[in-house]
Protein backbone atom coordinates (compact mmCIF):
# COMPACT_ATOMS: atom_id res chain seq x y z
CA UNK A 1 0.00 0.00 0.00
CA UNK A 2 1.21 3.47 -0.91
CA UNK A 3 -0.99 6.54 -0.48
CA UNK A 4 0.22 9.81 -1.95
CA UNK A 5 -1.77 12.74 -0.61
CA UNK A 6 -1.68 16.42 -1.49
CA UNK A 7 -3.19 18.81 1.09
CA UNK A 8 -3.96 22.43 0.24
CA UNK A 9 -5.57 25.45 1.85
CA UNK A 10 -4.55 28.74 3.37
CA UNK A 11 -2.41 29.59 6.36
CA UNK A 12 -4.27 29.25 9.64
CA UNK A 13 -6.35 26.24 8.56
CA UNK A 14 -3.93 23.71 9.99
CA UNK A 15 -2.79 22.21 6.68
CA UNK A 16 0.79 21.76 7.87
CA UNK A 17 -0.25 20.36 11.25
CA UNK A 18 -2.69 17.98 9.52
CA UNK A 19 0.16 16.69 7.36
CA UNK A 20 2.46 16.31 10.36
CA UNK A 21 -0.17 14.52 12.41
CA UNK A 22 -0.98 12.24 9.46
CA UNK A 23 2.63 11.12 9.08
CA UNK A 24 3.21 10.79 12.84
CA UNK A 25 0.17 8.51 13.01
CA UNK A 26 1.50 6.52 10.05
CA UNK A 27 4.86 6.08 11.77
CA UNK A 28 3.06 4.75 14.86
CA UNK A 29 1.38 2.23 12.53
CA UNK A 30 4.80 1.10 11.30
CA UNK A 31 4.63 2.72 7.86
CA UNK A 32 7.26 4.59 5.88
CA UNK A 33 6.48 8.29 5.51
CA UNK A 34 7.49 11.51 3.82
CA UNK A 35 6.26 14.99 4.61
CA UNK A 36 7.01 17.92 2.33
CA UNK A 37 5.38 21.20 3.45
CA UNK A 38 5.15 24.39 1.42
CA UNK A 39 3.75 27.65 2.70
CA UNK A 40 3.93 31.36 2.09
CA UNK A 41 5.71 33.87 4.29
CA UNK A 42 2.41 35.10 5.73
CA UNK A 43 1.43 33.64 9.09
CA UNK A 44 -2.28 33.53 8.21
CA UNK A 45 -4.03 33.74 4.89
CA UNK A 46 -1.13 32.76 2.61
CA UNK A 47 -0.89 29.48 0.77
CA UNK A 48 -0.35 26.31 2.74
CA UNK A 49 0.32 22.96 1.11
CA UNK A 50 1.73 19.63 2.15
CA UNK A 51 2.68 16.55 0.17
CA UNK A 52 2.54 13.42 2.31
CA UNK A 53 3.21 9.82 1.43
CA UNK A 54 2.54 6.80 3.62
CA UNK A 55 3.63 3.39 2.44
CA UNK A 56 4.49 -0.17 3.39
CA UNK A 57 7.53 0.17 1.13
CA UNK A 58 10.51 2.50 0.97
CA UNK A 59 9.63 5.88 -0.56
CA UNK A 60 11.93 7.14 -3.30
CA UNK A 61 10.86 10.80 -3.42
CA UNK A 62 8.86 13.07 -1.10
CA UNK A 63 7.27 14.92 -4.02
CA UNK A 64 3.65 14.20 -4.83
CA UNK A 65 3.10 15.01 -8.50
CA UNK A 66 0.29 12.52 -9.11
CA UNK A 67 -1.72 12.29 -5.90
CA UNK A 68 -3.97 9.35 -5.09
CA UNK A 69 -5.91 11.63 -2.73
CA UNK A 70 -6.23 15.40 -2.58
CA UNK A 71 -7.51 17.47 0.34
CA UNK A 72 -8.79 20.94 -0.56
CA UNK A 73 -9.68 23.12 2.40
CA UNK A 74 -10.24 26.44 0.54
CA UNK A 75 -11.67 27.55 -2.80
CA UNK A 76 -8.38 29.08 -3.95
CA UNK A 77 -6.71 25.67 -3.66
CA UNK A 78 -9.12 23.77 -5.90
CA UNK A 79 -7.24 24.43 -9.16
CA UNK A 80 -3.87 23.25 -7.83
CA UNK A 81 -5.55 20.28 -6.18
CA UNK A 82 -7.07 19.17 -9.47
CA UNK A 83 -3.76 19.68 -11.28
CA UNK A 84 -1.86 17.37 -8.94
CA UNK A 85 -4.60 14.70 -8.77
CA UNK A 86 -3.87 11.48 -10.62
CA UNK A 87 -6.55 10.06 -12.92
CA UNK A 88 -9.41 8.61 -10.82
CA UNK A 89 -8.01 10.17 -7.63
CA UNK A 90 -10.04 10.96 -4.54
CA UNK A 91 -10.84 14.66 -4.05
CA UNK A 92 -11.95 15.63 -0.54
CA UNK A 93 -13.43 19.12 -0.41
CA UNK A 94 -14.21 21.30 2.59
CA UNK A 95 -17.68 22.11 1.28
CA UNK A 96 -18.10 25.06 3.65
CA UNK A 97 -15.41 26.98 1.75
CA UNK A 98 -15.26 25.23 -1.63
CA UNK A 99 -18.60 26.02 -3.20
CA UNK A 100 -17.69 25.78 -6.89
CA UNK A 101 -17.87 22.42 -8.58
CA UNK A 102 -14.79 20.63 -9.73
CA UNK A 103 -13.72 20.54 -13.37
CA UNK A 104 -12.43 17.00 -13.77
CA UNK A 105 -15.08 14.35 -14.25
CA UNK A 106 -12.65 11.48 -13.53
CA UNK A 107 -12.19 12.41 -9.85
CA UNK A 108 -14.13 10.76 -7.03
CA UNK A 109 -15.37 13.73 -5.00
CA UNK A 110 -16.47 13.71 -1.38
CA UNK A 111 -17.73 16.97 0.12
CA UNK A 112 -17.29 17.34 3.87
CA UNK A 113 -18.59 20.44 5.71
CA UNK A 114 -15.47 20.59 7.88
CA UNK A 115 -16.01 24.06 9.29
CA UNK A 116 -19.62 23.37 10.28
CA UNK A 117 -18.75 20.05 11.89
CA UNK A 118 -15.82 21.58 13.78
CA UNK A 119 -17.94 24.47 15.03
CA UNK A 120 -20.62 22.06 16.29
CA UNK A 121 -17.97 20.10 18.17
CA UNK A 122 -16.66 23.26 19.77
CA UNK A 123 -13.97 25.04 17.76
CA UNK A 124 -13.56 26.00 14.10
CA UNK A 125 -9.80 25.42 14.43
CA UNK A 126 -10.32 21.63 14.43
CA UNK A 127 -11.74 21.61 10.88
CA UNK A 128 -8.40 20.13 9.77
CA UNK A 129 -8.93 17.19 12.13
CA UNK A 130 -12.41 16.63 10.70
CA UNK A 131 -10.77 16.42 7.29
CA UNK A 132 -8.07 14.09 8.56
CA UNK A 133 -10.74 11.70 9.80
CA UNK A 134 -12.48 11.92 6.44
CA UNK A 135 -9.18 11.19 4.67
CA UNK A 136 -8.52 8.15 6.85
CA UNK A 137 -12.02 6.77 6.27
CA UNK A 138 -12.09 7.46 2.52
CA UNK A 139 -8.62 6.07 1.75
CA UNK A 140 -8.27 3.33 4.34
CA UNK A 141 -4.57 4.25 4.43
CA UNK A 142 -4.45 4.76 8.21
CA UNK A 143 -6.40 3.39 11.11
CA UNK A 144 -5.39 6.26 13.42
CA UNK A 145 -5.48 3.79 16.31
CA UNK A 146 -2.60 5.62 18.02
CA UNK A 147 -3.99 9.12 17.48
CA UNK A 148 -4.24 9.99 21.17
CA UNK A 149 -0.57 9.12 21.70
CA UNK A 150 0.39 11.10 18.61
CA UNK A 151 -1.53 14.15 19.81
CA UNK A 152 0.02 13.89 23.29
CA UNK A 153 3.47 14.08 21.73
CA UNK A 154 2.44 16.77 19.22
CA UNK A 155 0.67 19.17 21.60
CA UNK A 156 2.44 20.78 24.57
CA UNK A 157 1.12 19.59 27.94
CA UNK A 158 -0.81 22.82 28.35
CA UNK A 159 -2.94 21.82 25.32
CA UNK A 160 -3.62 18.19 26.29
CA UNK A 161 -7.12 19.20 27.35
CA UNK A 162 -7.89 19.74 23.63
CA UNK A 163 -7.08 16.16 22.67
CA UNK A 164 -10.59 14.73 23.27
CA UNK A 165 -12.09 17.45 21.05
CA UNK A 166 -9.55 16.68 18.30
CA UNK A 167 -10.33 12.96 18.50
CA UNK A 168 -14.05 13.75 18.34
CA UNK A 169 -13.36 15.82 15.21
CA UNK A 170 -11.54 12.91 13.56
CA UNK A 171 -14.42 10.57 14.37
CA UNK A 172 -16.92 13.10 13.00
CA UNK A 173 -14.93 13.28 9.77
CA UNK A 174 -14.99 9.49 9.48
CA UNK A 175 -18.74 9.49 10.06
CA UNK A 176 -19.29 12.20 7.45
CA UNK A 177 -17.60 10.00 4.83
CA UNK A 178 -19.72 7.00 5.84
CA UNK A 179 -22.84 9.11 5.30
CA UNK A 180 -21.63 10.66 2.03
Tell me the pLDDT tens digit for each residue of 97-109.
Answer: 999 777 789 999 9
Asked whether residue 156 carries a pLDDT value surpassing 90, the answer given is yes
Calculate the alpha carbon distances from 63 to 22, 28, 78, 93, 135 in Å.
Answer: 16, 22, 19, 21, 19
Beta bridge partners of 111: 93
Residue 40: what pLDDT? 73
Residue spans of the domains in the chain: they are 2-179
Tell me the pLDDT tens digit for each residue of 12-51.
Answer: 899 999 999 999 999 999 999 999 999 876 666 678 999 9
- Please, are residues 91 and 85 in contact by the beta-carbon 8 Å criterion? yes
CATH classification for the domain delimited by 2-179, as one of 3.40.920.10, 3.90.550.10, 3.90.226.10, 3.40.50.920: 3.40.920.10
Give 12's contacts (C-beta < 8 A, 6+ positions apart): 43, 44, 45, 48
Which letter, b or e, does each residue of 106-139 get, where b requires 16 or more Cβ atoms within 10 Å of its Cβ? ebebbbbbbbbbbeebeeebbbbbbbbbbbbbbb
Interaxial angle between packed helices 147-154 and 163-179, expressed in degrees from 0 to 180 and rounded to the nearest 10: 140
Residue 9: what pLDDT? 95
If you average pLDDT over residues 169-179, what whole number do you get?
98
- Please, are residues 10 and 47 in contact by the beta-carbon 8 Å criterion? yes
pLDDT band with cut points at 50, 70 and 90 for residue 83: very high
Residue 8: what pLDDT? 97
Residue 102: what pLDDT? 73
Amino acid sequence: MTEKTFMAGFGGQGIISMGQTWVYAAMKEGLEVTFFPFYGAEKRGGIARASVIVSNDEIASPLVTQAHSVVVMSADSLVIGEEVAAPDALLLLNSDLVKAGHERADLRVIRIPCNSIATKIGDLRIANMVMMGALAEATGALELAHLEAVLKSYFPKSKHGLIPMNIAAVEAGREAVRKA
